Structure 1
Amino acid sequence: MPGVFLLRGLVLLLLLLAFLDLRWPLPGRVVYLLDFSPSARESVFALAARLPPHAFYLAFAERAALLPGPTARRLDLGERTDLRAAFREAARLRPSRVVLVSDGLLEPVPPPFPLDALYVPPKPHVDLRLVPPPYPLFGETVGVGVVLEAPVPAEARLRVEGPGGILERSLRLSGRRAFPYTFPLTEEAEVRAVAEGPWGRSEARVRVAPADRAKAWVLGDPALARYLEAQGFQVEEGPLRFPLAADQVDLVAVGVGVPDLPEGAPEALRDFLRQGGGLLFTATPRGLFFGGWDRALPEELPLKPLGRKGAALVLVLDVSGSMAGEKLNMAVTGALELVRSAAPEDYLGVVLFGSGSRVLFPPRPMTAQGRKEAESLLLSVRAGGGTVLGQAFREALRLLQGVPVERKAVLVLTDGLISDPKEPILSLAAASGVEVSALALGPDADAPFLEELAQRSGGRFYRAAFPKDLPRLFLREGQKVFRGERLEGRFPVEAASHPLAQGFAFPPLAVLLPARAEPWAEVVLHSGGRAVLALGERGEGRVAALATDLSRSWQGWEGAAPFLGGLARYLAGSRQALALHAYPEGPGVRLVVLGRLEAPVARVGGREVPLVPTAFLRYEAFLEGEGVLLDGKRRIPLRLPLPGEWTPRDGEAVLRALSEGSGGRFLSLGDLPQAASAFLPLRPYLLGLALALFLLERLLEARSGRFPQVP
């Protein structure tokens, strides 16, 4: 059938044309993206009259909006540049061709279509921003970052006002400049800045409020507590609670002695220091050497007594049968505390009494070997017999006669009634010239006799209701006997070259404990050959010792509070301080955090960026937006010097890379397209028509009742 063969030929022809992918030319749609951000809008406005009228125009900055024509203006689209928003709106118009007109001061974003680009120069301008410190502490010197950006060379007169006074500069800018404006933060503060030049005027202001206050626990030094309160510290003066937790206190200032604190306090303070806490010892009448800290914490105290003459103490210890068990055990523990509290120039001896007397060991210097031998002998003591004191007391006085020190003392301990005559003992004590102290243990002790014994010789009387009280009372007596010397008068102070002492004129001291600094310590203040203030690091913490009584020295000196506040902040710094630094890097910043953190992350734009440890107490992350730093319960807002609208870039190179990378062209003004062509693909239509003709052919063959034979 001729008709069938004709249809078959047409089908083959249509399939051939579809294979060739023919396209039908149609009028195209040109979309112009006009950069209306502050840096580019003036150049784009000046160019608008030369743009072709028959096109679609989208203006964009932070947002995008369709314009009725190229000369229309919009100033309500924001102050930054978001190229993604512009690309999204352009894609909705189904363009045949897209042309970006911009200064290139934007974050490059790969376009979803071939993009042509036309470069316009940015407006001469100097952008001014103030970046507050991310984690300012009350009382510390903080810095507000003054950031100036000029995309093209420009001159500017800068004026910054705030708590740090007025700062004025004349600058020639080409690119980015940043410097700090510093001041001590003692209350919420405002910083204002203005930059002016032929290009116009830029203004900025920022408020800075303290993010936190350091916490100080002050023991036994009210004068220091008032100074620290004046410097913005949160000061606690109640009994110290153990164990010391990291979130409980940043600094412990100690103006009391070891016996004034609970058992285990020296060990707890040492652990607190080693784990990053701050310690400050002051020379109140019960502190520093008077409190026995040079013996209780010999490895942690930066000062040691200078020129001590030493003292001698003989312990007359009741070992009668009534002392057996816990009483004797705690008495021996107390004697061991005396051994440990004595310095090498001190002498210690022990005489035992029961039914008779026995010299356990005569007074000997408490050198390392002397301590070792004394501890071994004390651990061998056993109880038994009556309570005869006279012979043991006379023996103790005899032993002290040959000891080459000026200060000599006896400490008598008993839990019962003395069975031998008392008046001879009292008379001997009064005539001996030796300080005799007495300790009555329990309700059965001969307290009236012991109290009179102490009174006649100028010693001290103690009561111990329970055996567990003995070590504390033994140690208290040891501190009274083995005490340092205190000088009173007028002692000029000289400062070493140390940042803590710069800018201060120190008045003379009224009270001074002669002291020397340990080799590992740094002397900040000294008077003649004596150290006044020394500090150093032990473990991860910082410790200092001040060899004067603040209730008598530096009264009326206006610099006392600022100096002591700076010292306290330095000591607390290893635990409290958290330094944040941000370094511009490409489209974002490199954030560096210095401080004690657990598992820090930065939350930016709904996602978390972990901070990677790069060194001891140093963490880093790369951020492309502002957010918060999270670490445990701590939340620190991150306001960073991210690239701004006026951040200098090679805008022409940015646009060239965008256009050429997307398959478009980098245009000059004469290359702007007046119109665009669009092409309709014919393949779907040709294939559809071929299918229809094929079905028609099959229908005709079915009606004729015959099919063509296959040769």
Structure 2
Amino acid sequence: MPASLGLLRALVLLLLLLAFLDPKWPREGRVVYLLDFSPSAREGVFALAERLPREGIFLAFAERVERLPAPTARRLDLGERTDIQRAFLEALKLSPDRVVLVSDGLFPPLAPPFPLDALYVPPKPHVALSLLPPPYPLYGETVGVGVVLEAPRPAEARLRVEGPGGVWTRTLRVEGRKVLPYAFPLEGEAEVWAVAEGPWGRSEARLRLAPADRARALVLGDPALARYLEAQGFQVEEGPFRLPLEADLVAVGLGVLDLPEGAPEALRAYLHRGGGLLFTATPRGLFFGGWDRVLPEDLPLKPLGREGAALVLVLDVSGSMEGEKLSLAVAAALELIGTATPEDRVGVVVFASGHRVLFPPRPMTLQAKKEAQSLLLSLRAGGGTVLGGALREAVDLLKGVPGGRKGILVLTDGQVADDREALLALAAGAGAEVSAIALGQDADAPLLEALARRGGGRFYRAATPKELPRLFLREGQEVFRGGALEGRFPVEKAPHPLTEPFAFPPLEVLLPARAEPWAEVLLRSGERALLALGERGEGRVAALATDLSRSWRDFAGAAPFLGGLARYLAGAGRALALYAYPEGEGVRVVVLGRLEAPRLLAGGKETPLLPAGPGRFEGVARGEGVLLDGKRRIPLSLPLPGEWTPRDGEATLRAMAEATGGRLLSPEEAGRGVRRPLPLRPYLLLAALLLFLLERFLEARVPRGTLREGAPG
């Protein structure tokens, strides 16, 4: 018995030594063949099926997976796309020793969960055709539908596209991906149909398109324009002016003073952040409305050949004007000077107990405006209220000033100490319009009203000093105003997409105008500019120097032309330009437009689009989704990778196989079996454990004395 125990102990040691050496026993392994039955690969797989071995397990896959008794058993239609992940999961259930993937590799690479070899088959020659809609089509907008052609192998194709933009055909060679734009004006629901044919077969696609929205227009004081835009599908609101400005286009046919205080600043800010502005020459708009003076840097038209006017401000600086009154009167005078042009002359005479000429009437150049500002800001109040000498000084100053239109504006807040009749006689013989502003309850309003009546001017009552700036602007608008021409004025158009389809009839009314250097003239009449437009900041602005209520009344093209102009102006801020570029297994989305905080919603997950420049946002989409921005939800149809998307399928298969220790096989190697060595270490360890337990058991049954007797020496 002791000898037997020693032998068992030796066997245990031998088994442990062999387990340490980790020997393996060669055996035949279980091989699973994954056969790609997707449309792009199945013809190549069918052609190779006869060369595959009959031993093994065969799974055919595309969108679905089915087991085949042999590689040539059935040629199934398993769907139009390739779901490699589902195929891997079904193969994993079979506990394979080796998987051989037979495919064209036109799918996103996926890490296999088992040892993988791959066999590449070239994809079928084919041209896939799809139609990509615009992201946010507006009613009446010229939209572009993307005609997308994809070919994993170079192929010839005859393409035909039909829709509202007419029929056009192309014969082209497609290598990889090609996108052609098909453009047309969207004036309701539309359908586009495309077909591509060649030796490889036929592909076709249809797209139904409806306007996602109608552009919104706020029209101020121009009912004729409002009717034209309504006929073109705009959502038109005719005033009132209120903030914030949320329309896509603001059309202005009113004067500066017809709108609330702060309107010019609000319109300038709206334009520069991407809005569209259109000024029209109604009797109260454009030059008559003073926009050329209040927005001089942003209006594309200026009066042509205007004769400058002269205005002298007679300003009370007596003791009662001290404080807020004088400050606001100076601020109003500065605004008045700011609206003057270099052709206009402005002077200021101040009075209290006496009078002095602050500065005589001079052309309001930039330098003159700066000097006037400095002098006005230096004024101080003090003394009585004696008007006569100052009014006489103003009359004398204007006598030596050239020009036809002249005016005097008197401002006082108190009781005038002069003789009433002498002042009225002076106003009557002034040779200029004499207007007056009574500031506050203590002003001599009856005298000032009579003074304005005798002087042929206007009387204003300002209950508080805060009303002065707008009253000064109103008087300046009256004095500095120009005139319109009436008759028949032929119209010449410049080459431009907006004017190309139209033949314009003569105009009945025209404001003589010239275009600013930064503006583009689309219409003119002789040397006079009729319509000019340009970009300011991120927005677009245009000015039309005619009254639409009297011009173009019988012009059938007036509505479509003005609608196209309005859409062009609104497009800078409203329309979204979207570009999509394949990137890896997704699509890089680039959106251009006036957006707040855009996000992509796809697969229940929101991804922010990051700003990449002014009005430019970028992100990567992994699937079809929605562009979110504020209250807007814009469905996005993206050119995501599809069944026929060009890829280097051979490189994809090689990378997937080598990642698991496998390799890309040749067709000759695909039929070889596989010998998967069986690791013997677990079995050797188990045998060693069993022998060890047997030794312990036998040792426990042997009497102790026997073991001692058998022990040496």
User: What is the Cα deviation at residue 39 of structure 1?
Assistant: 1.9
Query: Aligned match of 2:683 in 685, 688, 691?
Result: 685
Aligned residue number for residue 206 of structure 1: 207
**Conserved in 2, the CA contact under 8 Å of 1:296 and 1:341?**
yes
Q: Partner letter of residue 109 of structure 2?
A: P
1:148-168 alpha-carbon deviations (Å, 9 max, x no partner): 223445444332222222223
Question: Does residue 1:310 correspond to 2:308, yes or no?
Answer: yes
Higher mean C-alpha displacement, 158-167 vs 7-16? 7-16
Match of 2:221 in 1: 220
Tell me the residue number matched to 1:82.
Answer: 83
Aligned to 1:122: 123
Deviations 1:18-77 (A, max 9, x none): 345445565543322121212223444455566555532212112323335444547563
Amino acid at match of 2:117: D
Tell me the residue number matched to 1:141: 142
Partner Cα separation in structure 1 for residue 403 and residue 624 of structure 2:
70
Which position in structure 2 is the counterpart of 1:59? 60
| Counterpart amino acid of residue 641 in structure 2 | P
Listed as ranges, the matches of 1:533-612 within 5 Å are 533-605=531-603, 611=609
In the TM superposition, 1:122-521 aligns within 5 A as 122-242=123-243, 244=244, 248-316=246-314, 330-350=328-348, 362-368=360-366, 370-372=368-370, 374-375=372-373, 378=376, 380=379, 382=381, 385=384, 396-413=394-411, 434-441=432-439, 454=452, 458-521=456-519
Cα displacement string for residues 351-375 of structure 1 (whole angstroms, at most 9, x for unaligned residues): 5677877666554433445445555
Specify whether residues 447 and 50 from structure 1 end up closer, same or farther in structure 2 by C-alpha distance, changes over 3 A only: same
The sequence identity of aligned pairs, in percent, is 73
Number of matched residues?
Answer: 707
Classify 1:376/1:173 alpha carbon distance in 2 versus 1 (closer, same or farther; 3 Å).
closer
Change (3 A) 1:318 1:121: closer
Cα deviation, residue 550, structure 1: 2.7
Is 1:38 matched up with 2:39?
yes
662-671 or 512-521, which moves further after superposition? 662-671
Give the deviation of 1:90 after TM superposition.
Answer: 0.6
TM-score normalised by structure 2 residue count: 0.86
Deviation at 1:170, TM superposition (A): 3.5
Deviations 1:444-498 (A, max 9, x none): 7666665565556653344444443333222112101111232222333334455
Worse-superposed segment, 85-94 or 688-697: 688-697
Instruction: Tell me if the contact between 1:108 and 1:658 (Cα under 8 Å) persists in the aligned partners.
Output: yes
The one-letter code matched in structure 1 to 2:682 is: P
Q: What CA distance in whole angstroms lies between the structure 2 residues aligned with 1:174 and 1:367?
A: 64
| 1:82 CA drift (Å) | 1.9
Instruction: Specify the code of the residue in structure 1 equivalent to 2:220.
Output: L
Which residue identity lines up with residue 255 of structure 2 in the other structure?
A: G
Question: Structure 1 residue 328: deviation in Å?
Answer: 5.5
- Which residue in the other structure is 2:3 paired with? 2
Q: Aligned partners of 2:30, 2:536: CA distance in 1, in Å?
A: 74
Residue 86 (structure 1) shift = 0.9
One-letter amino acid matched to 1:33: L
Note the residue ranges of structure 1 that are not aligned, 5 or more in a row.
none
**Secondary structure at the counterpart of residue 289 of structure 1:** helix
SS across alignment from 1:469: helix
Deviations 1:146-199 (A, max 9, x none): 112234454443322222222233444454332111112333433222233454
**Alpha-carbon distance change, 472 to 710 in structure 1, aligned in 2, over 3 angstroms:** farther
Which residue number corresponds to residue 696 of structure 1?
A: 694
TM-score by length of 1: 0.86
Q: Which deviates more from structure 2 when the two are superposed, residues 83-92 or residues 285-294?
A: 285-294
Provide Cα deviations, 1:426-449, integer angstroms capped at 9, x if missing partner: 666566664344445556766666
The counterpart of 1:530, out of the listed 517, 528, 531, is: 528
Range moving further from structure 2, 416-425 or 498-507: 416-425
Over 3 Å counting, the alpha-carbon distance change for 1:73 and 1:138 in structure 2 is farther
Name the CA distance, whole Å, in 2 between partners of 1:285 and 1:117: 80
Worse-matched range after superposition: 277-286 or 437-446:
437-446
Given the superposition, is the C-alpha separation of residues 466 and 609 from structure 1 closer, same or farther in structure 2, using an over 3 Å criterion? Answer: closer
1:638 alignment counterpart: 636
- Superposed CA offset, 1:632-690 (max 9, x none): 55544332222321224454554455445544454455544476555544332222222
Report deviation, 1:547: 2.6
In structure 2, the CA distance between the partners of 1:345 and 1:83, relative to structure 1 (3 Å rule), is: same
Instruction: Report if aligned partners of 1:511, 1:552 keep a CA contact under 8 Å in 2.
Output: yes
Contact kept in structure 1, 2:322 and 2:380, CA below 8 Å: no
Q: Does the CA-based 8 Å contact 2:37-2:77 persist in structure 1? A: no
Change (3 A) 1:260 1:9: same
Q: CA RMSD in A?
A: 3.7
Residues 7, 694 of structure 1: 8 Å contact kept: yes
- SS at 2:15's partner residue? helix
Whether the 8 Å CA contact 1:54–1:674 is kept in 2: the answer is no
Q: Tell me the amino acid that sits aligned with residue 519 of structure 1.
A: P
> 1:29–1:675: 8 Å Cα contact kept in structure 2?
no
CA–CA distance in structure 1, aligned partners of residues 129 and 344 of structure 2 = 68
How far apart are the structure 2 equivalents of 1:375 and 1:673? 96
Moved more, 558-567 or 467-476: 558-567
Cα distance change on mapping 1:172 and 1:518 into 2, 3 Å = closer
Distance 1:514 1:526 in 2: 10
Q: 1:477 to 1:616 in 2, by over 3 A?
A: closer
One-letter amino acid of the structure 1 residue matched with residue 543 of structure 2: A
Structure 2 unaligned runs (5+)?
none
Residue identity opposite 2:482 in structure 1: G
Give per-residue Cα distances to partners, 1:592-635, cap 9 Å, x unaligned.
Answer: 33334455554555556554555444444454443344455554
Alignment of 1:646-685 (within 5 A): 646-652=644-650, 654-656=652-654, 658-659=656-657, 662-664=660-662, 666-667=664-665, 671-673=669-671, 677=675, 680-685=678-683
Which residue type is aligned with residue 547 of structure 1? A
Q: Distance in 1 between matches of 2:296 and 2:693?
A: 106
Relative to structure 1, is the Cα distance of residues 172 and 316 closer, same or farther in structure 2, using a 3 angstrom cutoff?
A: closer
The corresponding residue for 2:96 is 95
Q: Which amino acid aligns with 2:164?
A: P
Q: What is the identity, as a one-letter code, of the residue corresponding to 2:401?
A: V
SS state of the match for residue 288, structure 2? Answer: coil
Provide the secondary structure at the position in 1 that maps to 2:187: coil
